Amino acid sequence: MTSALYHTFGCKLNFAETSAVASRMERLGIRRVQAGEAPDLIFVNTCSVTGEADKKCRQAIRSFNRRFPRAAIIVTGCYAQLKSEEAASLPGVVIVAGNDRKGEIGRFVADFLESRRKTVDVIPAKDIRRFSPSCSRGDRTRYFLKVQDGCDCWCTYCTIPSARGRSRSATIRQLVSQAEEVVAQGGKEIVITGVNIGDFGKRQPDLTPEAPREDFLSLIKALDNVAGIERYRISSIEPDLLTDEIIEFCASSRAFMPHFHIPLQCGSDTVLRLMRRRYDSALFRDKIIKIKELMPDAFIGVDVMAGTRGETIDEFNRSYDFIESLPVTRLHVFPYSERPGTRALEIPHIVTQEEKHRRVEQLTALSNRKMREFAGKYVGSTRPVLLEHTRPGQPMSGFTDNYLKVRLPDAPPSTDNTILPATLSELLITPTGEPEFLATL
Ligand code: SF4
């Protein structure tokens, strides 16, 4: 039986799409490779968010070819979409599939296994019209439901619109039935994912023209009614698309968790304008305050980009002070990366690598402090935890509703995939600096 190894870079959406491809391959009789076994096929789902990401993808492909010279390599994802010829020239690569072609990979593989014919099938992102659905179980207990793809925003530092095309999405009916399938498979938690999910409903290729328009609020209301799914998490939503109605609905909903991830990128209005972001710091603060008013225990993760063009030291300090003043939980800090073809390259002011590194460190230290302050408030409290099996010999673990990581040494394996109240008795700091609770049922 043909075996395949799957390797994914980048965002939650990529991971969701990889598991969807793996499920389709299984239906074709292609199984996941066992540990220590040499695979026949290697599937690499790539990322191109930074120059470093491109490099890591090339390195991984070359390394797989050295380790498994007889394996046929399939490359897809944003690096393959943006640099298909380069990807096709790498050793061992037999198939390069664009972001819009992930659904066809099974056919390309069947064709290759029969004829050894190579395939490079990548259409320009601007011509991508259809929405490729995917809903799949991650490697733990939660499922990833892709509701939207592509983006129309063209922030000056970003290549994603060039890699994933225009904003488009599934229909509510399609997504509700996928959520019902998750229930049928015993799933309890779904992470709603996409590129710019707040833009849900803008273009729906499968919705008939006469059908009423759909939007993100109507989607989450419909999903909240799917009996059997006990938890939803919104993977990431743009601040200007996170309306007060959405926040109010999540606060009063049955199953939407007090957990938000909102890209800020910078706390300076001058830099936000240079980035062509569609909000200012005042709007961002209002959203955070609104969330905390209605859900005081909410976990709020925030994306921040350090050292983008135009971010002078004064603007950085202004940004830092703004972020420090916000009641947010954790920062995801990224160093700005020059991307070919982006409008940011027209901005004259450049931050040195050294200074960029210093700003990343300063923001990361701020994030660690905020995360510990947040976690510290919950020592001794009891919160619902979705218990997950971990590796053999390891204790059960899981996340609270407000996304605190918990370890439960006394929980029996039979509690896997159940939601139980747990007392967060002791706060530990892991070797990676992450807070984690020891808890009891
Ligand atoms: S909103 Fe901006 S940063 Fe996000 S994917 Fe779209 S263009 Fe990129």
Does domain 3-123 match CATH 3.40.50.300?
no
3-class secondary structure, 43: strand
At 307, list the tokens. Answer: 């050292």
Q: Is it the case that residue 140 has pLDDT exceeding 70?
A: no
Q: Could you tell me the distance, in angstroms and rounded to a whole number, from the CA of residue 343 to the centre of ligand 1?
A: 13
Pocket test for ligand 1, best of 153, 266, 302 (most atoms within 8 A of CB): 153
Q: Could you tell me the distance, in angstroms and rounded to a whole number, from the CA of residue 210 to the centre of ligand 1?
A: 30
| Residue 264 · residue 303 · CB < 8 Å | yes
pLDDT band at 90 (very low <50, low <70, confident <90, very high): very high
Indicate which residue's Cα is closest to atom 8 of ligand 1: 158
Tell me the C-alpha distance between 4 and 340, whole Å.
33
Task: From the CA of 265, give the closest atom in ligand 1.
Answer: 3
Domain limits, the chain: 3-123, 134-376, 382-440
Does domain 382-440 match CATH 1.10.3210?
no
pLDDT tens per residue, range 364-416 = 999 999 999 999 999 999 999 999 876 777 889 999 999 999 999 999 988 99
Span of 135-144, 154-163, 247-256 with lowest mean pLDDT: 135-144
Of the candidates 111, 102, 5, which has an alpha carbon nearest to the alpha carbon of residue 63? 5
pLDDT at 138: 62
Q: Could you tell me the distance, in angstroms and rounded to a whole number, from the CA of residue 150 to the centre of ligand 1?
A: 9
> Rounded to two decimals, what is the model's pTM?
0.93
Pairing of strands 93-97, 119-121: parallel
Tell me the C-alpha distance between 262 and 331, whole Å.
10
Span of 16-20, 65-69, 80-84 with lowest mean pLDDT: 16-20
- Residue range 265-292: average pLDDT? 98
Place of tokens 């800020």: 264
Task: From the CA of 277, give the closest atom in ligand 1.
Answer: 2
Q: Could you tell me the distance, in angstroms and rounded to a whole number, from the CA of residue 398 to the centre of ligand 1?
A: 31
Q: Could you tell me the distance, in angstroms and rounded to a whole number, from the CA of residue 333 to the centre of ligand 1?
A: 16
| CA torsion through residues 8, 13, 15, 16, sign | negative
pLDDT tens per residue, range 297-332 = 999 999 999 999 999 999 999 999 999 999 999 999
Please name the amino acid found at residue 178: Q
Q: Is it the case that residue 430 has pLDDT exceeding 90?
A: no
pLDDT tens per residue, range 7-63 = 999 988 998 899 889 988 998 899 999 989 999 999 999 999 888 899 999 999 999
How many other C-beta atoms lie within 10 A of the C-beta of residue 103?
A: 16
* 234 class by beta-carbon count within 10 Å (0-12 exposed, 13-18 middle, 19+ buried): buried
**What does CATH list as the number for 134-376?**
3.80.30.20
**CA 82, 87, 91: angle at the middle one, nearest 5?**
175
Ligand 1 pocket residues where CB is under 6 Å: 151, 153-155, 158, 160-161, 195-196, 238
Task: From the CA of 152, give the closest atom in ligand 1.
Answer: 6
| Residue 284 · residue 241 · CB < 8 Å | no
| Residue 169 · residue 203 · CB < 8 Å | yes
Which residues lie below 8 Å from residue 363, measured CB to CB, with a gap of 6+?
Answer: 304, 306, 320, 323, 331, 333
Tell me the C-alpha distance between 291 and 244, whole Å.
9
Higher pLDDT, 255 or 133: 255
Q: Could you tell me the distance, in angstroms and rounded to a whole number, from the CA of residue 196 to the centre of ligand 1?
A: 7
- Residue range 248-264: average pLDDT? 98
pLDDT at 395: 87
